[in-house]
Structure 1
Amino acid sequence: MEIQQQMIDAIEQGDLDKIHALMEQFKLDVDPDTQYEISGYLTNLGFVHEAEGVLEHLQFLFPDEHQIKIDRATLLMDTNQEDEALNIFLEIPKDADEYPQVLLALADYYQMQGLYEVAEKQLDEALDLLPDEPLLKFAKAELLMEMGRLSEAARLYEGLYKEQSEIAGIRLVERLAEVHRVGASYEEAYNYYLEALKNSTSPDLLFGATYSAFQLEMYEAAIRHGEDLRVLDPDYFAGYLLLAQSYAMMEDNKTALEIIKEGISRDEYDKELFLFAGKMALKNSLPEEAEQFLREAVALDPEYMEAVHILVSILSQNERDEEVAELIEGLSEDDFEWPTLSIFAAASYDRLEQFDLAYKHYQIAFSDYQDDVSFLEKYVYFLIEDGKREEASKIAKILVELQPDEPQWSDLVQRFEA
C-alpha cells in the first residue's frame, strides 16, 4: 500500500524522476487491477510513456487480455509508434468481444492520416457488429463531417440527439449547430445555436450564432451575439469583422468603423480587417484614413486585389498617377495582370505621357472590357492620338455595334475608311 500511495503522490506532484524511481517496485508490489487503474491515472495526467510501460508489463502478465492490448496500442499510437500499435491490434481476433474497439481505434488512426475511405470501412465493419452503439454512430458522424458529407453527418447527429444530449464529452446540439452552419443550412444552424446557448456560453457558440444570424440577414440578432462575444472574449479576432459588418448592414457606419479599429488593435496582421476599415473610412468620409488602412492591407499582401483595386481607384481619381504606376509596377514584377487595374493604369500612364505603357494596359483591359462603352470610348481616342488608326477603326466598329444610334462612331468609321 505504501508504494502505491507514493506513486499516486508522485503523479499528483508531477515528479517524473520519482515516478521513474518507483516504477519497478510498483510493478512488483502492487496488484494488477490497481496497476491498470494507475495506468489510466497516468494517461489522464499526460504521463503517456509511463502509462504505456505499465500496460506493457500487464500485457506480459496477461497475454490473452484483449482490453490491455487495446489500451496499450492506443497509447502507442499517441506516441507515434504506429507500427507496433498496428501489430498489437492485429493480434486481436475478429470474434473477440473487444474487436469493435479495435476497428474504432483503427478508424481514428486512418482518419488522422487522411485516409477517409479506409477509416469509413473500419467504422462500417464495427457498426455491422454493433449497429446500435452510440459511440460508433458518433465516430461515423464525425468522419462524415470531416469528409464534407454534411447531410449524412447531420442525420446521424440528429438520431443520436433524440436519445441523448452528450456523447464522448461533446454536446450534440453544438455539433448539430456546426454541421448545419458549415452546410449553409443557416436557419437550422441558428436554431440549434440558440438551443445550445440556453445551457452554456462559449466564444465558438456565440461566433456561430453571429455568423448564422448574419447570413439570415438578421443583423440586430447578429449584433447582439457579436457584442456578447466581444465582452466574453475580446481576443476572438474573427468576431470583430463579422460584428462590424453587421453594424454596416444596419447603416451604422460610425460604429462599424469603431469596431473594426478595435479589432485591428488586437490583430494587426489580418488584411481583411484593414480592407474593411478602409471601406468604412470611405463611408464615413475619411479618405486619408481609408488610404492608410488600404495601404496597410496591401503591405500585408501586395497581391490583395480587392484592397489594391480600391486604393488604385482612390489614387487615380485624384490623379496621383506616379503612385498608381508604382503600385502597378510592383504587381508587374510578378507577371501579374488584372484587367480592372489596367483601366486605371492606362489612364495614369497616359497622363504621365508614358504612352507605350498606357497602350500596353489598354490592351490588357480590352480582354475583359470589349463590351464596355465607357472604356472603349477612352481607348479609341487614345489610339487616335497615338496614331494607331487601324486599331482605332476596329474599336470604332465595335462601338457602332454597341451604340448604333450614336452617329459619332459611324462618323469615325467613315473617316478611317475615307
Structure 2
Amino acid sequence: MRSRWLLLIQLIWILGCESAPVPLPESAAILLQEATLALDENDPGRTISMAEQAVQLAPGHPHPYFILGQAHYVRGNYTDARRSWEMASRLDPDNWVWVQTVGDAAFQQTDYQASLDYYLRAVRMHPDAVSWHGAAGAYWEMGLTEEAWDACHQALILDPDYSPAYISLAMIAEHMGELEDARSYVEQALSLSPDNPASLLAAGRLARLTGNEDYAVSVLNKALEQVPGHPEIRYNLAMAMLQAGESEQAAVLLEGLDTEKSLPNGLRPDHPVQ
C-alpha cells in the first residue's frame, strides 16, 4: 500500500546520502532503518518515536525529518507532515524529493496554490511524472481544467506507463462529458495496472454512468475486496447494484455511508486508494 513511499526512501538512501549537508551518524541511521520497517508494518506511532530520536541525534540532517513527516502523513497529520518535510527541504534545498512531498502535504491541507508551487518547483529541479500529476491535481482543484489536462499529458510524456495520469484524464474527460475519451483512458489505466483499486474504481464508475452495470458491479466488487469499506467504492458499487436491480445488497452498502466522502473529490497526488 505504500509502494511510492518505499521507493522514495530507497531514492533517499541512494541520492540523499550524497547530497545531505552533514553526515548521518550510524546510530541515527539504524534508528531510521527500524523506523522505516515499523512504517511498512503499519505502525506509524513507533516510526514517529524512532524518527524523533534520530532528529535528536542528527538535528542538521534531512533524513530524520523526512521519515518523521512520512509517518505523520500516513496518520493523516498533514500539518505535522508538512512541517517536517519543510525542515528537510531547508536542510537540503537541492533535493527535489523533499519539495515534492511538501507539495503532497499542502495538497492534503487544501492549500492548493502552495501545493502547485511546490510541484512546479520539483518539476524544475527534476522533471518527473509524479510531480506533474500532483500539479494537475492542484490545477483541477483551482478550477483550471485545461492546465490540469496539460499537466497530465506532461506526466505521460515523461512516463507513458504512469497509470494515475490516465485515471485523472478519464475523470477530466468524464467531467467534460467526453465519455468515449474517458473510456479510452480508463482502458489504458487498466492495461497498465489491472488490479489497482484506483483503476478498478475509475472503470466501475464510468461503466455505471454509461449503463454497463453488470461490468461495474464486477470490477467494483474486486476493488472493494482490496480496500474494504472504502466510501467511494461502496457508493459506486451500491449505485451499480441499484441499476442492476439488486436493491437489498445496495441498501446494505449504503447503510451508515457518509455520502459526502463517497463522491469523487478530484485528482489526487500519487498515493494509493486506501
TM-score category of the 2 structures, normalised to the smaller one: 0.5 to 0.7
Where does residue 214 of structure 1 map in the other structure?
140
Question: What is the alpha-carbon distance in structure 2 between the residues aligned to residue 300 and residue 177 of structure 1?
Answer: 28
Unpaired runs of 5+ residues, structure 1, are 1-43, 45-97, 128-132, 317-323, 332-336, 342-366, 369-418
Where does residue 127 of structure 2 map in the other structure?
201
1:147 correspondence with 2:61: no
How far residue 243 of structure 1 moved from its aligned partner, in angstroms, is 1.8
Question: What is the alpha-carbon distance in structure 1 between the residues aligned to residue 101 and residue 146 of structure 2?
Answer: 25
* Partner AA of 2:130 in structure 1: D
* Partner AA of 1:117 in structure 2: S
Question: What is the alpha-carbon distance in structure 1 between the residues aligned to residue 23 and residue 193 of structure 2?
Answer: 49
Unpaired runs of 5+ residues, structure 2, are 1-13, 15-21, 39-45, 73-79, 258-274
SS, match of residue 146 in structure 2: helix
Where does residue 267 of structure 2 map in the other structure?
none
How far residue 203 of structure 1 moved from its aligned partner, in angstroms, is 1.9
How far residue 171 of structure 1 moved from its aligned partner, in angstroms, is 5.0
How far residue 193 of structure 1 moved from its aligned partner, in angstroms, is 1.3
2:26 aligns with one of 92, 102, 112? 102
Deviations 1:85-143 (A, max 9, x none): xxxxxxxxxxxxx997234324323423433313312421443xxxxx4xx2x123213
Within a 5 Å distance, the mapping from 1:191-340 to structure 2 comes to 191-281=117-207, 283=209, 286-287=210-211, 289-299=212-222, 301=224, 305-316=234-245, 324=246, 328=249, 338=252, 340=254
Whose relative contact order is higher, 1 or 2, with alpha carbons under 8 Å and at least 6 apart? 2
SS, match of residue 121 in structure 1: helix
Question: What is the alpha-carbon distance in structure 2 between the residues aligned to residue 272 and residue 113 of structure 1?
Answer: 26
* Partner AA of 1:338 in structure 2: V
Question: What is the alpha-carbon distance in structure 2 between the residues aligned to residue 310 and residue 261 of structure 1?
Answer: 21
Whether the 8 Å CA contact 1:279–1:290 is kept in 2: the answer is no
Deviations 1:38-60 (A, max 9, x none): xxxxxx9xxxxxxxxxxxxxxxx
Question: What is the alpha-carbon distance in structure 2 between the residues aligned to residue 219 and residue 146 of structure 1?
Answer: 30
- Cα distance change of structure 1 residues 294 and 265 upon mapping to structure 2, 3 Å threshold: farther
Whether the 8 Å CA contact 1:241–1:260 is kept in 2: the answer is yes
Deviations 1:162-203 (A, max 9, x none): xx423xxx5543343344335443321211211222343212
SS, match of residue 338 in structure 1: helix
Structure 1 segments, 4+ long, off by >6 Å, are none
- Cα distance change of structure 1 residues 113 and 234 upon mapping to structure 2, 3 Å threshold: closer
Question: What is the alpha-carbon distance in structure 2 between the residues aligned to residue 309 and residue 228 of structure 1?
Answer: 35
SS, match of residue 217 in structure 1: coil
Question: What is the alpha-carbon distance in structure 1 between the residues aligned to residue 23 and residue 166 of structure 2?
Answer: 48
Question: What is the alpha-carbon distance in structure 2 between the residues aligned to residue 171 and residue 202 of structure 1?
Answer: 11
- Percent identical among aligned pairs is 14
- Cα distance change of structure 1 residues 231 and 126 upon mapping to structure 2, 3 Å threshold: closer
Question: What is the alpha-carbon distance in structure 2 between the residues aligned to residue 300 and residue 150 of structure 1?
Answer: 28
Question: What is the alpha-carbon distance in structure 1 between the residues aligned to residue 54 and residue 224 of structure 2?
Answer: 44
Where does residue 87 of structure 2 map in the other structure?
156
Whether the 8 Å CA contact 2:119–2:131 is kept in 1: the answer is yes
How far residue 214 of structure 1 moved from its aligned partner, in angstroms, is 2.6
Question: What is the alpha-carbon distance in structure 1 between the residues aligned to residue 254 and residue 104 of structure 2?
Answer: 38
* Partner AA of 2:53 in structure 1: K
- Cα distance change of structure 1 residues 262 and 339 upon mapping to structure 2, 3 Å threshold: closer
How far residue 150 of structure 1 moved from its aligned partner, in angstroms, is 1.6
Number of paired residues? 216
Within a 5 Å distance, the mapping from 1:182-197 to structure 2 comes to 182-197=108-123
Whether the 8 Å CA contact 2:166–2:189 is kept in 1: the answer is yes
Where does residue 111 of structure 1 map in the other structure?
35
Where does residue 10 of structure 2 map in the other structure?
none
Whether the 8 Å CA contact 1:272–1:297 is kept in 2: the answer is no
How far residue 208 of structure 1 moved from its aligned partner, in angstroms, is 1.8
